Structures are given as structure tokens and as C-alpha cells.
């Protein structure tokens, strides 16, 4: 797969401004900064009707991404009211920023549609959201750092497999990449496990042990790379 981050091609279609990326076109006002486009790109990559279906689900059962997108739309509406040179730092919430980062990560994987599609399939499953979100960030970071990404043959049960193998375009260095994250009850739609630590309950040694445990599990899949 190509490591190249896809380019934007501005054009007009049926009298409307669009940006063409690979085999798809998206409506875009060229006078607006990319911050307006990225959430629309992410929404376009989700299954048709998924957002609307989520809005009919009770809040306690709704996928967190649906609420993230709603808050990001509110941020963009407020930003638009301020005009093309308006300041944004005082209205940018952490949730809106999370949407923009996720959208940029998914966009960075546009030329690797197999990887992108598999991640989106997991992103829209509430219980798999955190893991897929983290893996998308890792994969996009590797792509932007000039690595090609290839999946391992999961049918080979003779050994453990990392998430994927990344090969640096210039040096040809091959790296085993395994994305690990610690789930917390009530965080990013995860319903099981332990609650997140608070100021009163946090134990630095316990947290360090959990992180080291994740690293040790990941290293078991390195396969000499």
C-alpha cells in the first residue's frame, strides 16, 4: 500500500465546489480552513444512517462518537459565526478536538482503504471504540512518518501476531506495531472493568504496573522485529 497521505484536488461539480480525494468527492467551500472539512470527511466514512440511528438511542446506550460529532458541529457553528478570521481557542472543547484528531487520522489512512475500512467497522461498535480509536492513531502516525503498513497473516496460528508490520520507505527498517490501551469503566463507551482512578484513589505504582504489563504483552508479538 502507498504510504502517501492523500492530496486534496479542488474542483467544481454541477456548479458546486468539491474536493476530490482518491475515488470520492466531498462538498467543500475552498475559502474555509480544513477544520470545517475533516468532520464531514469522517461522517462520510461512517455507514449511511449510522449517526441518525444513534440519535434515537437512549443517551446511556449511545455510542460516544455520535455525541462527539454533535458537539463538534456546535463548535463549527460557533466558529462560523466569528467569520473567516475568528479566534477559536476559547470555544474549542476537548471533545471537538478529539473529533478533529480522529478525522485527521482516518483521512491519513485514505490510501489504505482496507485498513481504513476495518478500523471504521470497529470504531462504530461501542465496546470496540477505544481500541480502534487508539489503533487508528497509531497507524496514521506511522503512515505520516513515511512507513508502509501491511497486515500479518492471522491464519498462521504458529506464533503471535502484532497489529501490523510497518516498513520505513527510505531505510527499509521493518517494525512490529502493536497498539495497546487500558480500558476504564464508563470511559469511551466501555461498560466493564475498573473505574478510572481519581485524585483520592490513584496509585502511581499500580498504574505503572498496568502500563508495563501492556508493554510486556505487546513485546511478545514482536517476532524478532
Per-residue pLDDT tens over the stretch 88-98:
888 999 999 99
Q: In which residue are the cell numbers 527499509 written?
A: 172
Is the pLDDT at 149 greater than 50, yes or no? yes
Is the pLDDT at 67 greater than 50, yes or no? yes
C-alpha cell at 2: 502507498
**Alpha helix positions (H), the chain:** 34-45, 50-54, 64-81, 94-108, 113-123, 129-144, 204-219
d(CA 10, CA 43): 20
Is the pLDDT at 123 greater than 80, yes or no? yes
* Residue 4 pLDDT: 59
* Residue 32 pLDDT: 78
The widest CA-to-CA distance across the chain, in whole angstroms, is: 61
Where does the pLDDT of residue 1 fall: very low under 50, low under 70, confident under 90, or very high at 90 and above?
A: very low
| Plot region of 14 (φ>0 → left; ψ -120 to 50 → alpha; else → beta) | left
Cβ contact 112:22 at 8 Å: no
Report the range of poorest mean pLDDT among 13-27, 129-143, 177-191.
13-27
Cβ contact 3:148 at 8 Å: yes
Q: Which residues partner with 17 through β-bridges?
A: 12
Close Cβ partners of 115 (under 8 Å, ≥ 6 residues apart): 1, 109, 139, 149, 151, 164
* Residue 122 pLDDT: 94
C-alpha cell at 178: 502493536
Q: What is the mean pLDDT of residues 39-52?
A: 93
* Residue 154 pLDDT: 63
Is the pLDDT at 159 greater than 80, yes or no? no
The pTM score is 0.84
* Residue 121 pLDDT: 95
Q: What is the mean pLDDT of residues 157-170?
A: 85
Where does the pLDDT of residue 153 fall: very low under 50, low under 70, confident under 90, or very high at 90 and above?
A: low
Is the pLDDT at 198 greater than 80, yes or no? yes
Amino acid at each position: 500500500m502507498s504510504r502517501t497521505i492523500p492530496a486534496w484536488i479542488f474542483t467544481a461539480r454541477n456548479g458546486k465546489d468539491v474536493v476530490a480525494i482518491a475515488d470520492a468527492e466531498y462538498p467543500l467551500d475552498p475559502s474555509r480552513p480544513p477544520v470545517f472539512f475533516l468532520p464531514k470527511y469522517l461522517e462520510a466514512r461512517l455507514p449511511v444512517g449510522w449517526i441518525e440511528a444513534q440519535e434515537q438511542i437512549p443517551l446511556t446506550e449511545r455510542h460516544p462518537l455520535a455525541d462527539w460529532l454533535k458537539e463538534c458541529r456546535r463548535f463549527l457553528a460557533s466558529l462560523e459565526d466569528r467569520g473567516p478570521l475568528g479566534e477559536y481557542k476559547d470555544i474549542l472543547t476537548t471533545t471537538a478536538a478529539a473529533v478533529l484528531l480522529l478525522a485527521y487520522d482516518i483521512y491519513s489512512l485514505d490510501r489504505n482503504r482496507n485498513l481504513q475500512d476495518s478500523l471504521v467497522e470497529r470504531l462504530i461498535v461501542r465496546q470496540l471504540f477505544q481500541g480502534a480509536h487508539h489503533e487508528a492513531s497509531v497507524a496514521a502516525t506511522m503512515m505520516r512518518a513515511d512507513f508502509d503498513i501491511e497486515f500479518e497473516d492471522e491464519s498462521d496460528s504458529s506464533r503471535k501476531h502484532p497489529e501490523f508490520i510497518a516498513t520505513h520507505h527510505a531505510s527499509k527498517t521493518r517494525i512490529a506495531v502493536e497498539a495497546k490501551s487500558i480500558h476504564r469503566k464508563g470511559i469511551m463507551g466501555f461498560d466493564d472493568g475498573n473505574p478510572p482512578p481519581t485524585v483520592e484513589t490513584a496509585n502511581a505504582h499500580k498504574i505503572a504496573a498496568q502500563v508495563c504489563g501492556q508493554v510486556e504483552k505487546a513485546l511478545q508479538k514482536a517476532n524478532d522485529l
